Structures are given as C-alpha cells and as structure tokens.
Amino acid sequence: MRFQTPLIPGTLIRRYKRFLADVSLEDGQDVTAHCANPGSMMGLAEPGMRVWLEPNDDPKKKLNYGWRLVDHENGHFTGVDTAVPNRMLRQALETGSVPGLEEFDTLHAEVPYGQNSRIDFLITSEGQSDLYIEVKSVTLSRIPGLAEFPDSVTKRGTKHLQELANMVDQGHRAMMLYLVQRTDCDRMTLAQDIDPAYASAWRAATAAGVETLVLDCQITPEAVRIGKPLRMSF
C-alpha cells in the first residue's frame, strides 16, 4: 500500500491528547499532526524522535498532516497509524498475498457479529466454514527483535478474543491476525505483564480453536506492504 502523498520527515516535539502530535519539520516550521493511534505508543512517542508525516490538502480534515512512521535511524521503521493494517490487509487479501488465505469466494469487511461487535474481515468459500478474522496492529518492542501486544490494557481486545471463540463454538473458523508494523522484529509474544487478562483470553481462545497468524511488514517512507509470517513465542 503506497502512501497517497509523499511523506516528509521531521522531529517529534510532543504527543498529547492521544490523537495530536507537534512536529518540527526540516524547514524549521512547527506543525500539528493527527496521530491515528489510541494506544500508549510505548517507546514510540519520545520527544526528539525522527518521524515521517503525510501532508494532505483535504478541506474535510482539521489537520494538514498525519503521523505515519517512526524512523529508528538505523534502517528500521515502525508504522504508527492503526488504520493502515486493515487497508493494507484488504488489498493483500484481494490480491491473494496473505499466506494461507490465497483463495476464497467472497470478502466482507466490518460485518456485525457477536454482542454488538464488528469483525474486521469475513471470508466465505463454497463448501467451507466461514472464516472470521480480527486484525491487531503490533508496534511495541521492549526486547530487540521481539514484538509485543498489547501496549496497554485492552478490554476491547479481550472481548474480541471471546467473540472469536464463540464463532468457533458455532461451527465457524476464527483467526486473530497480528500485523507487526515494525521492521526490526522477527518474532512476537503477548505482553502478559501489561495486560494479563488479554493473555489469558488468548490462551482460552486458542484452546477453543481460534487460529493465530502473525505477519510482519515491509515499511519505507514510500509504502507499507505485507511481509512474511513470524513465529509467536512465549
């Protein structure tokens, strides 16, 4: 998935009110960017970090910039926009680029299911069980090479795992798909110290038959693309 407009670099001044970030551009101008990430962004929002913004001239948007990447300045990037995974994954599914999910008949997004929930993607194929896919963006890494989820307590995420387990109980397939939006990780684990309830719910869902798929990303200031499968470690 290519960015709609070329990204421009800057230096993070501060992130505040969850969805706002002040950034100093290379021309000396200070701007406010939209931060499309409701999480804690642990380790990714320190003042002085090099970041990449996407400019826009959309009159419907309140801000002229969106924060897209953190540049670790060692050849690696982290994608901080939590809206990117679903857009990118939909493109990858439609082009048969997701390992193990290359062939299906129909793809539906944001389908109501469970208790007032919406599944990210529902895949159907004639003669096969429906596949419910929940997508999570993974950006936390506290140990080199190891991605972790979540970066803060997520009651909503725990509910999603329980909803997926219910789908399996009803005779469907269900999958938790973790998209690691970092280029410096080769494996993933659950941050049990941050949210033990989520880790417990994942273990229960897995025991109930919910599948897990972890994928990394290829990230540059030009585009973000689905990468290869990563292993889940404990």
Q: Is 201 helix (H, G, I), strand (E, B) or coil?
A: helix
Mean pLDDT of the chain: 94
Quote the pLDDT of residue 61: 83
Backbone dihedral region of 106: left (phi > 0), alpha (psi from -120 to 50 degrees) or beta? beta
Fold classification of 8-79 is: OB fold (Dihydrolipoamide Acetyltransferase, E2P) (2.40.50)
> Residue ranges of the domains in the chain?
8-79, 84-232
Tokens of 196: 């033990």
d(CA 222, CA 225): 10
Residue 233 pLDDT > 90, yes or no?
no
In tens, the pLDDT along 29-68 reads 999 999 999 889 999 999 999 999 999 988 888 899 999 9
Quote the pLDDT of residue 1: 86
What is the bridge-based pairing of β-strands 77-79 and 65-71? Answer: antiparallel
Residue 234 pLDDT > 80, yes or no?
no
Which range is least confidently modeled, 21-25, 34-38, 56-60, 214-218? 56-60
* CATH class given for the domain over 84-232: alpha beta
In tens, the pLDDT along 95-122 reads 998 988 988 999 999 999 988 889 999 9
Same fold, 8-79 and 84-232: no
d(CA 188, CA 147): 5
| CA 80 to centroid of chain Cα atoms | 8
pTM equals 0.94
For helices 196-208 and 155-169, give the axis angle rounded to 10 degrees: 10
Quote the pLDDT of residue 213: 97
Is residue 216 a contact partner of residue 180, using CB atoms and an 8 Å limit?
yes
